[in-house]
Every structure is written in structure tokens, then in C-alpha cells.
């Protein structure tokens, strides 16, 4: 390089050095490979500048440690996602993109929550209450419903009304519509959370298993009757009730160009052993509301289908096919970590406010759903390992 070229290069570098580094305070930053080395140092540098960081790498323990270091260094907030690098990067990028979109306010909005006495439904009601919405709650148990209504008022709800009754019965459905129409001229959000579970393998539900060998016996009349009752009940709760309530309340939702939210399940995307009835009902309700979305789009109504994975609720106690107490222990929860219902509710409320088509959460279930599209046998094998069937 000639003297003139060297001088020009040095001058350029000096000029660059004179330029002030733009502030990163309040910026959102994704750092992939953040558990050590350059990635960790980059994360800390952004943290010292006051940015909000989302970190991902394979090793969860180290990643959690770096997240703490970032908070101590001055990060506005620090989140992390652990997993195989390309999966973590994809999840981190998606979460960061969603994080850039502000959640619209629900203050003063009118919200109907069905299945609001416990679990995800209760948490959804409280999430709307904290945002200043006016809520109408429905579930079977009046005492629990009254308690949740009080919690909503204490949390900041503009008002909290409730209707107690079996949501599979027409009189309850009509009562919800009547109360909503009497209180409001529109419904901004209709959230359908009521649900029931199944926990038995098909051969057990129909009483076909006969001890040690692989041979099966024919189902007798009593077992067939029990199976039929279980199938009808789960379809009533998980499919017929939300479909009917959505239709009955549709004019009020359309009046406010609102959002219908149905809480399906990851089992509505990927079936699992011992969950045959449950998976069938969740596939059915998801398909129904996918079709409804296309039909009501012209009315200005959005439809959001939520597909949560394992959530830490008492849903298993609602099993329509639970074995008799004398014959078997209570149905066991699936293996693995479970999402807190409050976090699940926060994501559902956000997805509805953004009028999103679907929500699959947490992110490993979203990754599994994508994998299921290209390698279903692999996902089946993983599901079999998760839900170990008991002989």
C-alpha cells in the first residue's frame, strides 16, 4: 500500500472515531450464542447501554447467569431462550419481533370469559381486569365464580358480572347472551376457555385390555356405554358449547368489530396417546373456528385460536373418562415442565388484542408443530415418550 493510501485509510478511521456512537437505550436486541465468549460480551455491552436483550444459546444454566449479569449491568430487561442453536435463534427472533409490537389497551373494553372459575379462564379474566376492562364471567360453580368476580374488581376491572351454569346447556348459553346484551351494546372480546380432558387409552376406555399379553377382549355393553358417555361429554364441552356461544353472541361481537378467542390445545395440532378423545375434540373446535374466521371476516370480526401446551392447572380433574377411584389412582399429569396459567393468559390476551390468527405457546410446542408438518413420525415418538401409557 502506498503512503498516500495508508494516510487515507488512517484518516478514514480517525473520521469514524469522531462519530458518536448512537445510543442503544430502550432498543430491543437479540443475541444468539450469548452464554460465553464474544456473545456474552456483546450482550453485556448492550446491557450497559440500557437496551432490552433477548439471549439464546444451548446451555440454560450459563444463559440464566448471563441474563442476571445483564440486569445487573443496566439492561432495561433481559430474557432468554435455551435450545439447539438454530431452534433457539428462530424462537428468539420470533419473540423479538412480537415484542416490538405494542399491545393495544383493553381499558374500557367489554369482555366475556367462559370457563372463568379456575385455570386459564380465571387468569384470562384477571389479566383483562388488570387492564381496566369490564368483564362478564361464566362457569358452573357459583361460589368460585363470585370469588373470581371479586378478584377482578380488586385487580382493577371497570366492573365484573357473572352468570353461573353448565355452559353445555342452552339455558346457560342464552343467559350469558341476555346478560351481555343487558349490560352492553357490544362485546369486544369473547374468550371461550371452558374445557374437559380425557386420560385413558382407547383400549382401556372400552375395557378391552386383559392383563399381561397383547390379546384384547371384545368390549362389553357396559364399557361401550361408558365410552359413549365420555365421548359425548367431551364433545359437548369442548366443541358444541363454544360453537353455540360464539353463534349466540356473534351479533354483539360484530357490533364492536370484536375478537372471538377459543382456547384449543397443542393437542389440537398434534395428537397424543391417552388423549384420543381430547385431541379429537380440540382438532374439531380448531377447525370449526378456522372456518368461522373466514365467514365473519367481512363483518370485521377476528378469530384467534390459542394452542397452549402443558399448563399448570387442575384440568386433569375434569377428565370425562377418569377411572373409578377404587380401580385406579387419579389421572396423572403429563411429564415435563408446565407453563403458569397467568403467563399463558397474558399471551392469549396479547394475541387477541393484536387480532392474531393463532397462538401456539410456549415456543417448544410451536417448534414441535412445525416439525410435525415435515416429520410426523418423529413427533409421534416424542409424544409416546412424554405420555407413557400404563399397562
Cα separation, 203 vs 201, in Å, equals: 6
SS3 88: helix
E-only strand ranges, the chain: 28-32, 52-57, 77-82, 110-114, 134-139, 159-164, 189-192, 259-263, 302-308, 358-361
Among residues 128, 189, 278, 307, the one annotated as catalytic is 278
CA-nearest of 348, 233, 336, 240 to 285 is 240
The Cα-based distances of 13 to 8, 10, 45, 254, 279 in angstroms read 9, 5, 22, 61, 62
Cα separation, 202 vs 367, in Å, equals: 28
Residue 86: burial class (beta carbons within 10 Å; 0-12, 13-18, 19+): exposed
Radius of gyration of the chain from its Cα atoms, rounded to whole angstroms:
25
C-alpha cell at 60: 440454560
- Residue pair 108/133 in contact by the 8 Å Cβ criterion: yes
Cα separation, 283 vs 279, in Å, equals: 6
- 188 CB neighbour count, 10 Å cutoff: 23
Residue with cell 413420525: 377
Q: Please name the helix (run of DSSP H) or strand (run of DSSP E) that holds residue 341, with its range, or none.
A: helix 341-353
The Cα-based distances of 258 to 116, 124, 137 in angstroms read 19, 17, 17
CA-nearest of 163, 155, 105 to 126 is 155
278 is catalytic: yes
Q: What does the DSSP assignment read for 165-228?
A: S-TTSHHHHHHHHHHHHHH-S--SEEEE-------S-HHHHTT-B-SSSS-BPPP-HHHHHHHH
Residues assigned a catalytic role: 278
Amino acid at each position: 500500500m502506498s503512503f498516500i493510501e495508508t494516510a487515507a485509510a488512517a484518516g478514514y478511521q480517525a473520521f469514524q472515531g469522531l462519530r458518536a456512537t448512537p445510543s442503544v437505550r430502550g432498543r430491543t436486541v437479540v443475541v444468539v450464542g450469548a452464554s460465553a465468549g464474544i456473545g456474552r460480551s456483546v450482550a453485556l455491552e448492550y446491557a450497559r447501554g440500557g437496551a432490552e436483550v433477548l439471549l439464546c444459546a444451548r446451555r440454560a444454566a450459563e444463559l440464566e447467569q448471563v441474563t442476571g449479569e445483564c440486569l445487573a449491568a443496566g439492561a432495561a430487561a433481559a430474557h432468554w431462550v435455551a435450545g439447539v442453536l438454530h431452534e433457539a435463534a428462530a424462537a428468539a427472533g420470533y419473540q423479538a419481533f412480537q415484542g416490538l409490537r405494542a399491545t393495544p389497551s383493553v381499558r374500557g373494553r367489554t369482555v366475556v370469559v367462559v370457563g372463568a372459575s379456575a385455570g386459564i379462564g380465571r387468569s384470562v379474566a384477571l389479566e383483562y381486569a388488570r387492564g381496566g376492562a369490564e368483564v362478564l364471567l361464566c362457569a358452573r360453580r357459583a361460589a368460585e365464580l363470585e370469588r373470581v368476580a371479586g378478584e377482578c374488581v380488586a385487580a382493577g376491572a371497570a366492573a365484573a358480572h357473572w352468570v353461573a351454569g353448565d355452559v353445555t346447556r342452552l339455558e346457560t348459553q342464552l343467559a350469558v347472551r341476555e346478560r351481555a346484551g343487558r349490560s352492553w351494546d357490544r362485546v369486544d372480546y369473547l374468550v371461550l376457555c371452558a374445557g374437559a380432558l380425557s386420560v385413558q387409552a382407547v383400549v382401556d376406555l372400552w375395557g378391552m385390555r386383559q392383563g399381561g399379553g397383547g390379546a384384547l377382549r371384545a368390549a362389553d355393553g357396559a364399557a361401550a356405554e361408558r365410552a359413549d358417555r365420555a365421548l359425548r361429554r367431551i364433545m359437548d364441552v369442548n366443541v358444541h358449547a363454544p360453537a353455540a356461544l360464539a353463534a349466540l353472541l356473534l351479533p354483539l361481537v360484530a357490533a364492536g368489530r370484536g375478537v372471538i378467542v377459543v382456547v384449543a390445545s397443542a393437542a389440537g395440532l398434534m395428537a397424543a396417546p391417552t388423549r384420543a378423545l381430547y385431541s379429537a375434540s380440540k382438532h374439531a373446535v380448531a377447525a370449526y373456528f378456522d372456518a368461522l374466521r373466514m365467514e365473519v371476516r367481512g363483518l370485521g370480526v377476528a378469530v384467534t385460536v390459542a394452542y397452549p401446551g402443558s399448563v399448570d392447572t387442575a384440568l386433569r380433574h375434569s377428565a370425562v373418562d377418569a377411572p373409578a377411584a377404587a380401580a385406579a389412582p387419579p389421572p396423572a399429569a403429563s411429564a415435563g415442565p408446565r407453563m403458569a396459567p397467568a403467563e399463558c393468559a397474558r399471551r392469549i390476551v396479547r394475541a387477541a388484542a393484536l387480532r392474531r390468527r393463532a397462538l401456539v405457546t410456549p415456543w417448544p410446542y410451536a417448534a414441535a408443530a412445525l416439525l410435525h408438518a415435515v416429520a410426523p413420525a418423529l413427533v409421534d415418538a416424542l409424544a409416546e415418550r412424554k405420555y407413557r401409557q400404563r399397562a
